[in-house]
Structure 1
Amino acid sequence: MINSNLIKSALATSLLVCALATGASAKDGVLRIGTEGDAPKFSMADPSGNVTGFDADIANGLCAELKLKCEFVVQTFSSLVPSMDKDRFDVIISGLGITAER
């Protein structure tokens, strides 16, 4: 049986490495995180913009390790990459496959 804490730790470490490798930088102690908010169990946003789910848990764990405040920016899935290219957020935490276009 695989330990879920080990998986979360490995994912958080991977996300941190990816964020640092892509030049993500927190401004004023806030890490802006792009997420979909409409993928039950992974990323769910309520009408007030509060994000919950697995992706939010990973993001909050990452922010805690980095001693930063998480700020979620909820976007439609198709706008995540273009919005990151426009500097709307620092990292994307969402199920996102690698394609030639991305």
Structure 2
Amino acid sequence: MILITPSTMDEIQQFFADMPDFARLHVQGEGTIDVPIYKVERNANMVFIWARIPTGIRTLTKLQIIHKNGSVMLERNAPLTKPTTRNVYTRFEFVIEEVGSE
């Protein structure tokens, strides 16, 4: 069995937390808008990447998290419609876990 030590798990989480550069919002009928990452959190074996959808944007057709090297790191294609007068926060989350080999 392979065990990841707590310090190595922390390093892996930090590696993933340092990857995103910004969020790219694909706004229906308006093209794309780049916004800063709102927040990156680490908790236990999870990493959360938050993006804020600003006031005035109504419907997103796609949301992407762009890696610091310029490539798409994460992508959500599901349409999202929100009230025009409110900010909405969305997050990507992923679990870092050990998987044993057989």
TM-score (normalizing by structure 2): 0.28
Comparing both structures, which one devotes a greater share of its residues to helix?
Answer: 1
* Bigger relative contact order (CA 8 A; separation at least 6): 1
Q: Looking at CA atoms only, which structure, 1 or 2, has the larger radius of gyration?
A: 2
TM-score (normalizing by structure 1): 0.28
Comparing both structures, which one devotes a greater share of its residues to strand?
Answer: 2
